Amino acid sequence: MTRWTKRLRWWRTSEFAGAGDSFEARIRLADLGLSPGQTIALSAFQEGASDGWAVDWVESVVLTLTEGGAGNMTLETLFSGNPYGFEIQVQDDGADQVDPASVVVRSGGQPVTPTVNKTGGLTTIVGRHPALLEVGVLQTVSLSLTAGGRTQSKDFVFKVEPYTVLPTAGSLANLDKANPGWLIHVTMISSAQSTVTSLHSNVAALAEVQLAGRLTNELTGTLYINEAGDDWNKWVVNPVVETGVVNWFELAPGTDASLNFPNDDGIPILSNMGVVLEGVVIELLTYLELPQGYHKLGLYTEGGHKVTAGFASSSPVLSLFDNSGDIVRVPTYFGRNQFFDVVAPQAGYYPLRVLWFQSKRNQEPGLMLELFSVEDRALHLLNQATNPKSLRAYRAGVLLDPNAVIPTLTVQRQGANVVLHWTGVLQLADTINGPWTDHAADSQSPLTLPTDRPFRFARSRSP
């Protein structure tokens, strides 16, 4: 404790205490020369014995200081802001009880009309900025309210982190929810064929080439085969449908990694092969149901990834983590959470493609992948039926090469209904000249329409 006391003497106004080999301190940001909106980095590692992962190491992380600014607020507050909107929680303190009708909020100096709800002693204030904020902007959200007959105010300052506005082209207004989950394509080229653990070297562009079956043995001039396929004479990718969550661990079932989420599932096809996994590339396709607004999505893995807003490899990239730069980043030392932010301009079903690839395991006992979202400061697996905060996913495409799909459309009369069957993507319009709107992929066929409703035109297009 003596060494720590000497090092901390200049923080004379700080609160700190020590006992045994533990030390705790509360340091004012002003003493560190920091202010809201600034970015700080944190990293720590401990060698030797410890109390499990909880105190063994801290993954490097970059944080932006978000609360602060002028005001006389004495009540406890909790703030979160994003490019689309914000949420503020205010806790009553004794006689200082918030009057919900008194809440006034301004964002960037402009008045906004928030939604205010109070449960018990907690007031929750949710609002939307007057316009979508630009990346890198320091935004101030100002709150004023009356508590216990006294006016209190506080400014919250935050920095807008990178995000992507999802394109509405290719999104669907509705679909048949009888087809939940993911369409998955699994490939593997191990050292048994190539003599190296990975031909794709954890580079997204090469992973795309492997998925397409275009990697060639330079010595023989022949194409490699997919060890996860059912034909060892040619490249075959057998589609797999996953109706639930993506919470995969190479050694499951039987062994649970117990990371962000328990009850791991095996990796489709691969976990049943009974071999050490190498040179893996997997594609996952789905439509993600998103309310209008901001969403934080994430993955947990040692591997690399490329996430796109659309099913083509050329679709807009939402997140990319691979070895295409000068630094070898994949596989990571241990599994890690990786996040990316999106904004849905309108509610709908948005096409999402996840390309996941990994040469081999690193420090983890096996390959693993978790796909999740973040809400209320907690992680939620995508498409978890038992979790009301989980974003729902509906599988995309047909169990064929999408490039081979020929659009077709047939119409049948059944009593007072018209039934449409199609391949490709069904489009609907109110007039023969359009505008035409994508309605659903052929995995959602058929569609039943009552004949007593306004007449509509239908057609099918290639995906």
Range 255-263 contact pairs with CB under 8 angstroms and sequence separation of 24 or more = 255/365, 255/366, 257/335, 257/364, 257/365, 257/366, 257/368, 259/300, 259/335, 259/368, 259/370, 260/300, 260/337, 260/370, 260/372, 260/379, 261/370, 261/372, 261/379, 261/381
Q: From CA 412, how far away is CA 406, in angstroms rounded?
A: 20
| pLDDT at position 25 | 67
Q: Where are the domains of the chain?
A: 2-64, 67-159, 182-395, 402-461
CA 263, 179, 207, 171: dihedral to nearest 10 degrees?
-120
Domain 67-159, CATH: 2.60.40.1930
From first to last of its 463 residues, the chain has per-residue pLDDT tens of: 344 443 444 444 556 666 665 666 666 666 666 666 666 776 665 544 444 444 445 556 666 665 556 678 999 999 999 999 999 999 999 999 999 999 999 999 999 999 999 999 999 999 999 999 999 999 999 999 999 999 999 999 999 999 999 999 889 888 878 889 999 999 999 999 999 999 999 999 999 999 999 999 888 888 999 999 888 788 999 889 999 999 999 999 888 886 789 999 999 999 888 888 999 999 999 999 999 999 999 999 999 999 999 998 999 999 999 999 888 889 998 899 999 999 999 999 999 999 999 999 999 999 999 999 999 989 999 999 999 999 999 986 543 344 445 567 878 888 888 888 888 889 988 887 788 899 998 888 999 888 888 878 888 876 7
**Of 186, 210, 185, 184, which is closest to residue 196 (Cα–Cα)?**
210
CATH architecture observed for domain 182-395: Sandwich (2.60)
Burial class of 407 by CB neighbour count within 10 A (0 to 12, 13 to 18, 19+)? middle
pLDDT at 50: 45
Q: Please, are residues 166 and 342 in contact by the beta-carbon 8 Å criterion?
A: yes
Please answer whether residues 380 and 387 qualify as being in contact, where contact means their C-beta atoms are separated by less than 8 angstroms: yes
Q: Is-contact 41 60, C-beta < 8 A?
A: yes
Q: What angle do CA 4, 50, 248 make, to 5 degrees?
A: 130
Please name every residue paired with 190 in a beta bridge, in sequence order, or none if there are none.
none
User: Which residues on adjacent β-strands are paired with residue 373?
Assistant: 297, 380
Q: CA-CA distance, 384 to 177, in Å (whole number)?
A: 14
At 55 the pLDDT is: 45
Tell me what pLDDT residue 278 has: 96
